[in-house]
C-alpha cells in the first residue's frame, strides 16, 4: 500500500516535470532541462545529452555535480563532438537498438556485448564513472529517435555511488518518451526560424546561419553570467534564455527589405544609402508589431533597437513629435530594452571576430581593446563586465558554429 502511494507521488512528480518542460520552447533550454530532470529522477551525479543530427549523435549538454558543482559546464557545453550510431559505443548502441542500456560498473562490462566504455574521458577529467543508464529519446507517436540521454553514477541516500534501480529505469523511460516529443517539436520550430534566416542569407551573404547562431549563443551566455552575478532566480534565468536564444536569431530580419545595391555594395555606403540601411530596424520590427506573446515582444525590441548605443548615439530611437514634424530620437542607457543591449554587444563582437568583405577577422587583443574602450559608450558597462568573464565560453561558441 505504501509503495503504491509512493508510486503515485512519483508519477505526479513526473507529470509536473513534463508540464514544466512543455512551457519551454527553445531546443537548448529544453535539452538542458530534460537532462536535469532525468538526473534528479534517478539521483545521477552526472549526465550528458545527444541529439540526432545528420545520422550521428551530436553532443549537446553535459552536467556533472562532482566536477562543476552547481555551476554550468561553461565552455564544455559547446564541445564539438559527434558519435556514430553504431554498436561500438554505449550511446551509439542505445540509439541503434532504441533500447535502454544499464551498466552497473563500466570497468567490468561483460565481454558478450559489442560496445566498450571510453575511459579516456574519465582520465581527462579526473572522474570515475561506475554506473551508467543510457536512455534513447524516442517520441511516443512515431517511434522516431530524437537523441540519447546518458546518466552517470546513481547515488544512494548517503551520496554513495550505486547502480540504477529497476524503478528508476521505468520512471526515466516514461519521462524521456514525453520529453522526446517536446524536443522534437522545439527542433521543428528551430529549423523553421533557421529557414527564415537562410532565406535572408540568399539576399545578404553577411547574415549567415552560423552568424545568427553565434550571436544567439553569445547573447545567452552574456545574459546568464550577468544574471548569476545578480543572483536572479534560476527559473527566471531559464525563462529569459528560452526567449532570448530564439529572439536573437532574428535580429537582422529587416535586412530582407534593403535593396541589393546597398546590401551588397563592396565599398563604403554614401550618407543617403546609410540612412536607408538604418531602416532595417524599423521594417524588421514591423514583422513583430502584432505582439501576441513574450517572444514577439522581445524579438520586436531586439530587431528595432539592436543598433542603439548606451551613450544615445545609435539608431533608430523613438519617433517624437517636434512642432509639425516627427523626428527620431535615439534611446540611451537603460531606456534601451535590455535584450537589445545584450544583442548589440554580441552582434558587434561577432562582426569584429569574423571575416567581412571589407575586413579580415580581428585578433583577440584588438577586439578586447575595442570593446573595453566602448564600455559605457557603445555598450552597457555591466554587460561588458560579464563579457570579459566568459571569454573562454565565447571562444568555444566561435569554434562550434564556424
Ligand atoms: Fe542590424
Ligand atoms: Fe547581425
**How do residues 243-278 score in pLDDT, each as one tens digit?**
999 999 999 999 888 888 888 887 888 999 999 999
Provide the grid cell at 138: 524516442
Ligand at shortest distance from the CA of 211: 2
Burial of 182 (0-12, 13-18, 19+ CB in 10 A): buried
State yes or no: pLDDT of 1 exceeds 60: no
CA 70 to ligand 1 centroid distance, Å: 36
Confidence at 197, pLDDT banded by 50, 70, 90 = confident
d(CA 206, CA 197): 11
Ligand at shortest distance from the CA of 200: 2
CA 212 to ligand 2 centroid distance, Å: 6
Choosing from 255, 264, 359, 366, the catalytic residue is 255
Provide the grid cell at 249: 536569431
Ligand at shortest distance from the CA of 348: 2
Provide the grid cell at 220: 545567452
State yes or no: pLDDT of 206 exceeds 70: no
CA 281 to ligand 1 centroid distance, Å: 7
CA 306 to ligand 1 centroid distance, Å: 6
User: Which protein residues have their CB within 5 A of the ion that is ligand 2?
Assistant: 252, 347
What the chain holds in terms of domains, given with CATH numbers, is 2-186 (3.30.450.40), 204-400 (1.10.3210.10)
CA 350 to ligand 2 centroid distance, Å: 8
Q: What is the mean predicted confidence (pLDDT) over 144-148?
A: 94
- Is 255 tagged catalytic? yes
Write out pLDDT tens, residues 207-233. 678 999 999 999 999 999 999 999 999
User: Which protein residues have their CB within 5 A of the ion that is ligand 1?
Assistant: 252
Output the CA torsion 221→222→228→229 (10° steps). 150
Record the pTM: 0.90
CB distance 394 to 221 below 8 Å: yes
CA 216 to ligand 2 centroid distance, Å: 10
At 142 the pLDDT is 61
State yes or no: pLDDT of 90 exceeds 70: yes
Ligand at shortest distance from the CA of 248: 2
φ, ψ of residue 113 in degrees (nearest 5) = -95, 150
CA 305 to ligand 1 centroid distance, Å: 9
Amino acid at each position: 500500500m505504501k509503495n503504491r502511494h509512493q508510486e503515485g507521488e512519483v508519477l505526479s512528480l513526473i507529470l509536473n516535470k513534463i508540464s514544466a518542460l512543455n512551457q519551454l520552447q527553445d531546443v537548448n533550454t529544453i535539452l538542458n532541462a530534460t537532462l536535469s530532470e532525468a538526473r534528479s529522477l534517478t539521483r545521477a551525479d552526472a549526465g550528458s545529452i545527444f541529439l540526432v543530427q545528420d545520422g550521428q549523435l551530436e553532443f549537446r549538454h553535459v552536467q556533472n555535480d562532482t566536477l562543476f558543482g552547481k555551476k554550468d559546464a561553461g565552455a564544455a557545453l559547446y564541445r564539438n563532438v559527434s558519435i556514430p550510431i553504431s554498436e561500438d559505443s554505449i550511446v551509439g548502441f542505445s540509439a541503434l537498438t532504441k533500447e535502454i542500456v544499464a551498466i552497473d560498473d563500466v570497468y567490468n562490462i561483460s565481454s558478450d556485448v559489442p560496445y566498450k566504455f571510453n575511459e579516456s574521458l574519465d582520465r581527462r577529467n579526473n572522474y570515475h564513472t561506475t554506473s551508467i543508464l543510457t536512455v534513447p529519446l524516442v517520441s511516443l507517436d512515431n517511434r522516431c529517435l530524437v537523441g540519447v540521454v546518458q546518466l552517470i553514477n546513481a547515488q544512494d541516500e548517503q551520496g554513495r555511488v550505486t547502480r540504477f534501480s529497476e524503478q528508476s529505469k521505468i520512471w526515466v523511460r516514461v519521462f524521456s518518451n514525453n520529453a522526446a516529443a517536446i524536443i522534437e517539436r522545439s527542433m521543428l520550430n528551430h529549423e523553421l526560424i533557421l529557414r527564415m534566416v537562410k532565406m535572408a542569407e540568399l539576399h545578404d551573404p553577411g547574415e549567415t546561419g552560423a552568424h545568427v547562431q553565434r550571436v544567439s549563443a553569445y547573447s545567452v551566455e552574456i545574459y546568464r553570467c550577468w544574471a548569476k552575478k545578480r543572483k536572479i532566480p534560476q527559473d527566471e534565468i531559464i525563462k529569459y534564455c528560452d526567449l532570448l536564444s530564439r529572439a536573437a536569431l532574428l535580429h537582422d530580419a529587416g535586412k530582407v527589405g534593403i535593396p541589393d545595391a546597398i546590401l551588397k555594395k563592396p565599398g563604403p555606403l554614401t550618407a543617403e544609402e546609410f540612412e536607408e540601411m538604418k531602416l532595417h530596424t524599423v521594417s524588421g520590427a514591423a514583422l513583430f508589431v502584432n505582439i501576441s506573446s513574450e517572444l514577439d515582444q522581445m524579438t520586436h525590441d531586439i530587431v528595432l533597437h539592436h543598433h542603439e548605443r548606451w551613450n544615445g548615439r545609435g539608431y533608430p530611437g523613438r519617433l517624437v513629435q517636434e512642432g509639425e514634424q516627427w523626428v527620431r530620437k535615439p534611446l540611451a542607457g537603460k531606456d534601451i530594452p535590455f535584450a537589445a543591449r545584450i544583442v548589440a554587444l554580441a552582434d558587434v563582437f561577432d562582426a569584429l571576430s569574423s571575416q567581412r568583405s571589407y575586413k579580415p577577422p580581428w585578433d583577440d587583443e584588438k577586439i578586447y581593446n575595442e570593446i573595453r574602450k566602448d564600455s559605457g559608450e557603445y555598450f552597457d558597462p555591466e554587460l561588458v563586465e560579464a563579457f570579459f568573464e566568459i571569454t573562454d565560453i565565447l571562444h568555444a561558441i566561435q569554434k562550434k558554429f564556424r
